[in-house]
Structure 1
């Protein structure tokens, strides 16, 4: 298991949850089943109906997350994903799903001491799992470890068997298959995680024909997270295009150079349209340059920056 997870951190292969469009899907005769169920209902006594209600509750899918309660999840394993990022796998009941929709995140917290009244103080940060939302028994977080980052340093200090308190999910963009003809994505650093959640949902659904174009910016080639997985997904799914750009390219670098520019957006992303959606996630400087940041109340806020200058409207852009 340990060696497998370390290979996973380096390559992050398609086995992490994505499948190609060749997967077939069986369709059930839902209409007939509903009709039969309604007919049967009127033949049952009130006691039978109460019993069936209980069965329905028992059959409802159980999830590991709770939006109103902090729960502890145990670290199963961690591995180095890049020179400054780590991959963490947390485990729970193997018969239960995590309880995430696409696209949503969870919230983590860690104690940082006590206030003057003796109450525990916490640092709280949101993270988007990169594992398949339908996976049972585990979830994976990809976290960049900052020298002064209280939460990321806390994660870096964890050992297998240690626990982290988690609450959620927190719904972000509610993605529905084919909701837009073309989705453009602009990501920087660990801002790739919500993009990957949406990409995985699209490529594993054979009925989803959404075209996806991703511009992914990083400091250097060594900082590009999940590159092998993204490259494999792009090579096996013709509806996914990926373009990389870095601030400090190496001599053998063949991708883009510098910050994401107007020219890159025009060349690599869908044009402004009612059937276009642009997703943006990255560090504050990138957000200001591309779209403007969210408002103080965490609403989407005013659209500014490169996207506004190129004619996109607030309805065409979503900021994670």
Structure 2
């Protein structure tokens, strides 16, 4: 439980600037720990356990928003930690590449789980499904969160698809508000009912909602 005396950094519907104060690159060749300071050193982030929040940045002159779940505890004061796998150039991961390029002292905007968002679109490739899986799990566990989720998940082959039979397909079958569409490049087995190739504009038009004030990508 967050002590009442502590002020909360996150404000519903608003972005807060947070400064990068630590970047640890020794976790693995492509996994980093990022520590961001909150606006005030006596604040807690104010994000309930299991909830996600968004990092927002301008990347290639476009607004990029990605959902992540903090690895630090809810009662830590003055900062929060993220452990993120970096997907390097030509491998996707615009936000992870942007974070990896940040110098200490740089700022990034942080936004909590949006109550106004009715629809959430998430695109993923390969092991990038892991943070998306965490977001899906958190939303489905919250009986008050009725966000509709649309996932387009790309892999090289059908056998490379992670969490499909254990989690994604059963969840989509059980929860009508979760839609998952798969895209593979090759090695399509008989009976494949999804897309072949790469994620294209046509695939997105068919399987995710159009952009609107209540839709987040």
Taking structure 2 as the reference length, the TM-score comes to: 0.51
Asked if 1:102 is matched to 2:53, the reply is yes
Asked if 1:250 is matched to 2:188, the reply is yes
- Structure 1 residues 131 and 202 mapped into 2: Cα distance closer, same or farther (>3 Å)? same
> Displacement of 1:185 after TM fit?
1.9
Task: Look up the SS of the partner of 1:174 in the other structure.
Answer: strand
Q: Find the aligned partners of 1:181 and 1:142 in 2 and give their Cα distance.
A: 26
Asked if 1:271 is matched to 2:210, the reply is yes
- Structure 1 residues 56 and 172 mapped into 2: Cα distance closer, same or farther (>3 Å)? closer
Query: Contact (CA 8 Å) 1:185, 1:213: kept in 2 or not?
Result: yes
Asked if 1:260 is matched to 2:211, the reply is no
Question: How do 1:16-55 residues align onto structure 2 when only pairs under 5 Å count?
Answer: none
Question: How do 1:19-168 residues align onto structure 2 when only pairs under 5 Å count?
Answer: 56=5, 70=22, 102-103=53-54
Q: Find the aligned partners of 1:56 and 1:182 in 2 and give their Cα distance.
A: 34
Asked if 1:220 is matched to 2:157, the reply is yes
Unaligned runs of 5+ in 2: 9-18, 32-44, 56-66, 76-80, 89-103
> Displacement of 1:186 after TM fit?
1.8
Partner residue in 2 for 1:231: 169
Query: Over residues 234-276 of structure 1, what are the superposed CA-to-partner deviations in whole Å (9 max), with x where a residue is unaligned?
Result: 2332211111110013323623211122332122111233322
Query: Over residues 170-228 of structure 1, what are the superposed CA-to-partner deviations in whole Å (9 max), with x where a residue is unaligned?
Result: 96662424322222222222332343343233222211121111111111123223323
Q: Find the aligned partners of 1:140 and 1:253 in 2 and give their Cα distance.
A: 40
Whose strand fraction is larger, Structure 1's or Structure 2's? 2
Query: Contact (CA 8 Å) 1:144, 1:190: kept in 2 or not?
Result: no
Task: Look up the SS of the partner of 1:241 in the other structure.
Answer: strand
- Structure 1 residues 145 and 262 mapped into 2: Cα distance closer, same or farther (>3 Å)? closer
Partner residue in 2 for 1:196: 133
- Structure 1 residues 56 and 190 mapped into 2: Cα distance closer, same or farther (>3 Å)? same
Task: Look up the SS of the partner of 1:212 in the other structure.
Answer: strand
Partner residue in 1 for 2:58: none
- Structure 1 residues 145 and 102 mapped into 2: Cα distance closer, same or farther (>3 Å)? closer
Task: Look up the SS of the partner of 2:121 in the other structure.
Answer: strand
Aligned residues: 162
Partner residue in 2 for 1:313: none
Query: Contact (CA 8 Å) 1:186, 1:215: kept in 2 or not?
Result: yes
RMSD: 4.8
User: Which entry has the higher C-alpha Rg, 1 or 2?
Assistant: 1
Unaligned runs of 5+ in 1: 1-53, 61-66, 76-86, 88-98, 105-127, 147-166, 280-320
